[in-house]
Amino acid sequence: MSYILGISAYYHDSAAAIIKDGEIVAAVQEERFSRKKHDPAFPARAIQYCLKEAGCSLAELDCVVFYDKPLLKFERLLETFLVRAPRGFSTFLKAMPVWLKEKLYLKQVLRRELLALQPGLRREQLPPLNFTEHHQSHAASAYFPSPFTHAAVVCLDGVGEWATSSVWEGKGSKLKLLKELQFPHSLGLLYSAFTYYCGFRVNSGEYKLMGLAPYGTPRYTDTILQNLVTVKDDGSFALNLDYFDFETGHAMTSARFHQLFDGPPWPQDKAPDQRCMDLAASIQQVTEHIVENIARHARQLTGARHLCLAGGVALNCVANGKLRQSGLFDDIWIQPAAGDAGGALGAALSAWYIRQPDAVKPSVDSMQGAQLGPAYTEDEMRAACKHWDLTPHFIETAELHRRVADLLLADKVVGWFQGRAEYGPRALGNRSILGNPQSSQMQRTMNVKIKQRESFRPFAPAVLRGSLKDYFDAEPGNPYMLEVARVQPHLILPDNTDLQGLARVNAVRSSIPAVTHIDYSARVQVVDKATSAGFHALIEAFADAGGVPLVINTSFNVRGEPPVCSPDDAIRCFLATDMDYLVLGSLIIDKSAATEAAIARAKTITFEKD
């Protein structure tokens, strides 16, 4: 048997993944255990979980693979400083001690951390430590788990070592780099610059900017294309660096950027104004144009009928939906952990296929519905309930589904905790908060009272595959909630309100208003019985009870918190919010049965707002 462990760490979203004879066994982000959103630390607990799930020790691993090459990153840092010197000198001085102490000697750091996981293990017993390039990890995470045996692979993010955009060809068990664009010309950094400028936090607020975009008019699109970025026919693009300051590390945008858009960056946590909405709409339109341009060139280079996507930009589900609508490819597959967390899996898979050049790549989606994190026993769930002084009620599975369906129809909000935790940023029916999509008030209720986040942010529908075309103009449908589709015209209701700006969130736009965004779109998750039997059965029960074959599905957390992992996490989040019921496996808990002391204790645990 061959075991390979992949690791991503030390930037953001550290994670670990393990494969056995080329098959994915487990993968999870460190944030799920540490409860620090986007935790960049060495993924000690994630590694321990992966080893336990695989039933092997560190000494039994064939190798450990890190998801990028720190020496190449250091080269970029030095060259960038030399080009921009003396600007950025203070940032350079701050970065140097960290690089000289840790990152330049990453092999030693990783070996030390690995040895600490297993006391008594000697250095010579550690497996070989290998490194892949950052975009190689992204490409491998996208292609090898995909159902395709020939595909164009596009990776788009902020920056790896040097690469910011890359095009690959996956064929059989081989993955070949065809073209790449290097720092500082980066689509991810361009989008993050507008994220920062509109008052959101870089590396966590990009979702918000995307959700804000439909409220605006893209009146700055031409300004961006004429001044900030030049898009070329060969799929490449170039940023005008006079408008950005990310090279020096001081800020994302420069004074010239602020002058172009009539003011300084918008304050964080202040409600966006119409200019922010228009900027969001404009950069979203530019992003979609660049992504499609790159994908078109990738099709020309490879001749492939299928496309795989990874990298942080691949989490832009609006651009993904537009790309599918373009018809450039017969089908598209997107790695659900498309950001840096997915690099851990990509690093392990890349090493496997390099070591086993004759291996046969599966022609099925091998991500197992992204259900690759920890699961918990009923005894562990009952122990967590006891810890919080709760008395759960056990209900048989079929009856439980009917009971929860009735609660959702009554506009109750239900925390839903089942099976293995999801890998990646999306809740896909195992660590979810569920609601009634037909309720006109549910979006605001769940945003403000449950998620404790901005009211304009949309919620995703989880829909049965057999009912997809009845509700959404989407085909074949993405199981990982990574594409936006239009609500079918016959469901749309006329907007007779005079609401403006963010107040438009309160307008009822369709017969499924809680999952219909302002532009009549929805970020759709298609639910298959084969990979999500319990979640599928619950949605069926909801439809049978008089609802529709879809539910609101949002991640089980509050603003600033990672999705819950353990039963204890779930109970704390449930008690600290206005959720009505919690389901842990076959156990159901009514909020009204919780003591005031337990609720007060849960609310003492807070998270930094993102």
pLDDT tens by residue, 233-249: 899 999 999 999 887 76
Residue 497 has pLDDT above 90, yes or no: no
Distance CA 413, CA 374 (A): 24
Output 389 or 109, whichever has higher pLDDT.
389
Q: Where are the beta strands (DSSP E) in 206-359?
A: 229-231, 237-239, 306-310, 331-334
Q: Measured between alpha carbons, how far is residue 320 from residues 145, 249, 334, 424, 546 in Å?
A: 18, 30, 9, 17, 33
pLDDT classification of 343: cutoffs 50, 70, 90: very high
Instruction: Give mean pLDDT, residues 188-192.
Output: 95
Query: Rounded mean pLDDT of 437-452?
Result: 86
List phi, psi (to 5°) of 433. -110, 130
**Residues β-bridged to residue 415:** 433, 582
CA-to-CA distance for 251 and 430, rounded, in angstroms?
Answer: 38
Is 80 exceeded by the pLDDT of residue 98? no
Q: Are 3-67+69-131 and 378-603 equal in CATH topology?
A: no
- pLDDT value at residue 442: 87
pLDDT digits (tens, 9 = 90+) for 13-47: 999 999 999 999 999 999 999 999 999 999 999 99
Superfamily for 378-603?
Answer: Carbamoyltransferase, C-terminal domain (3.90.870.20)
- What pLDDT is recorded for position 91? 59
Model pLDDT for residues 118-153, shown as the tens digit of each residue: 988 999 999 999 999 999 999 999 999 999 999 999
> Which two structure tokens, joined as six digits, stand for 259?
């002058």
Residue 81 confidence (pLDDT):
56
Q: pLDDT at residue 567 above 60? A: yes
pLDDT value, residue 102: 58
Average confidence score pLDDT of the chain: 92
Q: How far apart are CA 335 and CA 558, in angstroms?
A: 24
Read off the pLDDT band of 231 (50, 70, 90): very high
Tens of pLDDT along 460-487?
999 999 999 999 998 887 899 999 999 9
The CATH architecture one would assign to domain 3-67+69-131 is 2-Layer Sandwich (3.30)
Residue 85 has pLDDT above 60, yes or no: no
How does residue 79 score in pLDDT terms, banded at 50, 70 and 90? low
As a CATH number, domain 155-334 is 3.30.420.40
Task: Give pTM, 2 decimals.
Answer: 0.94
Give the sheet arrangement for strand 483-487, strand by strand. 393-394, 587-590, 581-584, 414-417, 431-435, 550-555, 460-464, 521-527, 483-487, 472-473
pLDDT value of position 73: 64
pLDDT tens digits for range 409-429: 999 999 999 999 999 999 999
- DSSP element (H, E) containing 211: helix 206-212
Which pLDDT belongs to residue 71?
Answer: 63
201 or 100, greater pLDDT? 201
| Mean pLDDT comparison of 59-73, 99-113, 320-334, 482-496, highest-scoring range | 320-334
- Residue scoring higher pLDDT (442 or 231): 231
- For the segment 598-610, the average pLDDT, to the nearest whole number, is 88
pLDDT of res. 606? 87
Q: Where are the domains of the chain?
A: 3-67+69-131, 155-334, 378-603
Q: Which pLDDT does position 80 carry in this prediction?
A: 60
The pLDDT of residue 75 is 56
Question: What pLDDT shows up at residue 25?
Answer: 98
